[in-house]
Structure 1
């Protein structure tokens, strides 16, 4: 994705109507009333009766975010076109920019009659995307040499959220690439939103269900290769709790792919057990061998679990890397998944964990209350007026 290809990240003032055919386009103008807060509808009726006025909204969030306004702005222009009006948008923080807590992301100007009933839906399309973009940015920045795949769709509440989150990941990723040279998100799991990552198709090979269907990890790999002979393979290896044994069996079955770097193993071990060959003692030993500084110093319980605990820990990944290298499969990649949120990515970075790719949907906001964007009118027909306590929203 090239951020700003539609102009929203390069122009301070955005005008005109955009065509939106995606789920994030939201309800058409004649359905907005059914989905917006009732007091906004009553406000609209009052203003229609007593006379319209031109207003300016300041839109902000209460926590730091990365600006991801495109889908929200596209929707506003779509509604404006349907209603035969125009909204002027002064985008203070263009797409991909860091926004401080309480700082207006944009100023929205137009008819109060036409804007009053849009606030509910507009804010829904802005806040969560900005928080998810922030999370994606921090994850990619902490692990600049790791490629990420967005696997969030299954965790989303419907198609509109799925699009918002994919878009957000692409925005946060692009910032990490631009600011720090990170690899960032190289793709995602669903074709409908692959275009946000500059792709025509989605990424992915096999879920656990295919392993269960095949009856063995090796057989699943063989079936996949027979069906898609020209594609690289990423094989899940945790189904039978034989992560190392099954990984090596697949490598020996496909030595050419392994030597060409077209074979990867994916570890998705649940937090209820350690990977094959690992226990707490082994976990500490493997990190002591590779990154002793990672386990010397204060760690809270969550950080310690990410380092040496059950599931997909830093120690587990180091252990797998050693096993592959010792068997001569140095070009076989390691894909890690299972709860790779910003906190876990930070710990993985501190342990210099040898991950090639992370598949994750955990850039989704974890505290939904932090995703609430707020819009306050700060000007009526050119006269500055805002509720007491929000004077900070006036343009500097």
Structure 2
């Protein structure tokens, strides 16, 4: 977020326009009858990975703009796991100056924490694969894009501590900084192949324009993933041999990869990972293994074809719906994926992203609504709760 935009976001007018009206009225009442020092507890109702930076930055900017200080006690550092109902942070300060901030604060906290948890799980399921964040096209504007990219970087960093490769970058410049990169990564969309008229010609055009770049080529446009993939390798054998070439599988769910059908998909997995198809499978898991689209069988078939043709150093990039569940199935099938391109860490059930804040202390006295006593501080505050 730029400095100008960040400053504009915390003006009284901007906050008043975006907050819930009852918080504005609360401020007016409190200013009339006397301010109090309060402490908020902020939590989510599901397990998450703590991703609080955007929310904390907002709080600090708002405090500076309002000429006050907020005491922030972060209970789970960035990248740490937090259980359902565990307070992520406590915020203490003037009730009059805090009350209007709740709506925006919760917007900036809940969704990143859930998305970070998804990204963390995805990376752990496929620890030997690198991930590329491709969430931007699925985001509702720049602010959500920033939150989701930040979340992926947090989940990735947590997974790397456990041995995963994690996210190595993302697909656009604006949020590349979250991944320690100067710019986004990517080569070509399907539209470029349609423009070129053939997959090989699109690769030639790209290479001529960006001769020093690695070459990752989409190979599903004409439904000839294997044939076109091998044709590109044959056209650029030196790049293929150097490890700087990849084929990207993005086959849509309406058809099988070239040469596959249900029977051949089972046969491919039987050749490589027979155990993967000899256990109970849900309908979704079975589709990820041997169904249409970018299945485990499709990835294995592409690897087979590349190796048989003498291109063992050409990498496979897989995209299309790689959420936590699909990553888990790919891991069980030991699918030979080098890079996963995905935006599927964006939460599916948006209701799970709703963070909640409750005041748990008023001028030092513990008090919270019935049913939320679990939010009280554990240092004796529970004994002073106003409910007795």
Same structural fold, with TM-score higher than 0.5 when normalized by the shorter chain: yes
Unpaired runs of 5+ residues, structure 1, are 1-18
TM-score using structure 2 length: 0.96
Partner of 1:315: 297
Correspondence for 2:260 among 278, 283, 304: 278
* Deviation at residue 181 of structure 1 after TM alignment: 1.1
Q: Please give the alpha-carbon distance, in whole angstroms, between the structure 1 residues aligned to 2:24 and 2:245.
A: 57
1:87 aligns with 2:87: no
In the TM superposition, 1:338-353 aligns within 5 A as 338-353=320-335
Q: 3-state SS of the aligned residue for 2:316?
A: strand
2:256 is equivalent to residue 265 of structure 1: no
The SS at the match of 1:84 is coil
SS across alignment from 1:157? coil
Decide whether the 8 Å contact of 2:8 with 2:14 is kept in 1.
Answer: no
**Correspondences of 1:288-367 after superposition (within 5 Å):** 288-367=270-349
Which consecutive aligned stretches of 4+ in structure 1 deviate over 6 angstroms post-superposition?
22-26
Query: 1:395 deviation in Å?
Result: 1.4
Contact 2:10 2:58 in 1 (8 A): no
State the alpha-carbon separation in 2 of the partners of residues 301 and 115 from structure 1.
Answer: 49
1:186 maps to 168
State whether residues 24 and 163 of structure 1, in contact with CA within 8 Å, keep that contact through their aligned partners in structure 2.
no
CA pair 312-33 structure 1, distance change in 2 beyond 3 A:
same
In 2, Cα distance between equivalents of 1:325 and 1:319: 10
Partner residue, 2:383: none
Q: 2:376 maps to which residue? A: 394
Partner of 1:345: helix, strand, or coil?
A: helix
After TM superposition, list the pairs within 5 Å mapping 1:129-278 onto structure 2.
129-178=112-161, 180-278=162-260
Matched-pair contact (CA < 8 Å) for 1:56–1:379: yes
Q: Could you tell me how far 1:24 is from its partner in structure 2?
A: 7.4
Give, in angstroms, the shift of residue 23 of structure 1: 6.4
Count of residue correspondences: 377
Give the drift of 1:99: 0.2
Unaligned runs of 5+ in 2: 379-388
Q: Distance between the aligned counterparts of 1:159 and 1:48, measured in 2?
A: 35
Post-superposition CA distance 1:270-292 (Å, at most 9, x none): 00000100000010001011111
Q: CA deviation at 1:21?
A: 2.9
Could you tell me whether the CA contact under 8 Å between 1:243 and 1:275 is conserved in 2? yes
